[in-house]
Amino acid sequence: MPRMIIGDRLREMREGKKLSQGDIEKRTGLLRCYISRVENGHTVPAIETLEKMARALEVPLYQLFYDGEEPPQVPNLLKRKSSDENVWGNSGKDARFLGKLRRLLGKSSEEDRKLLLHMTQKMAGR
């Protein structure tokens, strides 16, 4: 089974910053044996775990996947129209709230999501 590229990248970044797996353990709360399993490609980390590791390494999340100094350019077809730039949930605290809401809704049952949608539509119609 080939090693995961993300594990190699995490190790390379950690060693480049002269940090031990123990340092990352202290900064993230993740067990050192788990960090080792990720770095060696034996475990596929969840996005929340990658976010913790990026914070511990003091880098933006995209740098775990991309080797440039600046974020990669997004093709025009994926960019939002300028009229959408000020939409609620597009940045800052609102974007973090929306992300958390999406994760929690993903863990909810279809029936509960339908109920929440119905209640939200009623509240928005007031």
19 alpha-carbon distance from chain centroid: 22
Go through the chain and tell me how many residues it has: 126
pLDDT at 4: 45
- Angstrom distance (rounded) from CA 45 to CA 72: 22
pLDDT at res. 39: 93
Taking the model in full, what pTM does it have? 0.53
Q: Domains in the chain, ordered, with CATH? A: 5-64 (1.10.260.40)
H/E element, 112: helix 110-124
pLDDT of residue 102: 87
Distance CA 57, CA 121 (A): 42
Q: Given this model, what pLDDT does residue 2 score? A: 44
Residue 32 to residue 20: CA distance in whole angstroms: 9
| DSSP 8-state secondary structure symbol assigned to residue 125 | T
Whole-number pLDDT of residue 86: 67
**Are the C-beta atoms of residues 69 and 10 closer than 8 Å to each other?**
no
Q: What is the mean pLDDT of each run of 10 residues along the chain (126 residues)?
A: 71 94 95 94 91 94 78 61 65 85 87 89 85
Give CA 21 to chain center in angstroms: 20
